[in-house]
């Protein structure tokens, strides 16, 4: 299969690096959308991860004829009625840091034990071109929230998210280990399977 180029709907070089690692030796080649910050921003106000992911992909696909990859992801805690959810990045307010969000989550989780500390990371990935969604896939990672942060790797809520599959928090795992079990890794591998399958029915041109 010849190389297949995708533009990532983001200005985040860290996210690009993560997706490139997930793509591995496949023919899929990822780049950030050129001049991303000059394009009118998409307002992620949908009540679901799928709505934000698809909306973002469709929005940015208006400004290029290339394939656009967009995702939305976050942490869902049933004991907090699904929070932080789609507001994961804005959980502690505008301009808050990862540390601020972690501290707010820890405060909200005070006194909660056992099953009440269950949590799930969710990721929805959308592929679009010319204002048309070609594929929407999702996956998740199950875990529990620790009583305090552990680990220096990763970002966001990773230091509090203990994965029983890994036997440690996402922030204590290597990037390779996290990619194998993470919500984003699982969702992107589903998309790769669609793109690289001999029976692929997606119309990419």
13-23 helix and 183-196 helix, angle to the nearest 10 degrees? 50
Rounded Cα distance between 181 and 165, Å, is 8
Q: Of 173, 169, 185, 151, which is closest to residue 73 (Cα–Cα)?
A: 185
Q: What is the DSSP string of 119-154?
A: EEEEEEEEEEETTEEEEEEEEEEEEEE-SS---SSS
Tokens read off for 80:
């907090």
Query: Which residues belong to the active site?
Result: 72
Tokens read off for 104:
């707010």
Instruction: Please report how many Cα atoms fall inside a 13 Å half-sphere around the Cα of residue 77, on the Cβ side.
Output: 23
Tokens read off for 107:
């405060």
């Amino acid at each position: 299969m010849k190389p297949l180029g995708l533009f990532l709907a983001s200005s985040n070089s860290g996210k690009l690096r993560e997706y490139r690692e997930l793509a591995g030796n496949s023919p899929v080649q990822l780049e950030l959308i050129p001049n991303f910050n000059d394009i009118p921003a998409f307002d992620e106000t949908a009540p679901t991860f799928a709505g934000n992911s698809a909306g973002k992909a469709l929005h940015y696909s208006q400004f290029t004829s290339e394939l656009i990859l967009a995702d939305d992801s976050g942490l869902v805690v049933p004991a907090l009625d699904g929070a932080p959810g789609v507001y994961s990045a804005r959980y502690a307010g505008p301009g808050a840091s990862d540390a601020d969000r972690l501290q707010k989550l820890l405060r909200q989780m005070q006194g909660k034990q056992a099953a009440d500390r269950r949590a799930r990371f969710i990721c929805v990935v959308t592929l679009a071109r010319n204002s048309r969604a070609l594929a929407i896939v999702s996956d998740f990672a199950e875990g529990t929230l620790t009583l305090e942060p552990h680990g220096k790797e990763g970002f966001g809520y990773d230091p509090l998210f203990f994965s029983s599959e890994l036997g440690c928090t996402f922030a204590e795992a290597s990037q390779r280990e996290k990619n194998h079990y993470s919500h984003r890794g699982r969702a992107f591998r589903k998309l790769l399977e669609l793109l690289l399958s001999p029976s692929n029915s997606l119309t990419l041109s």
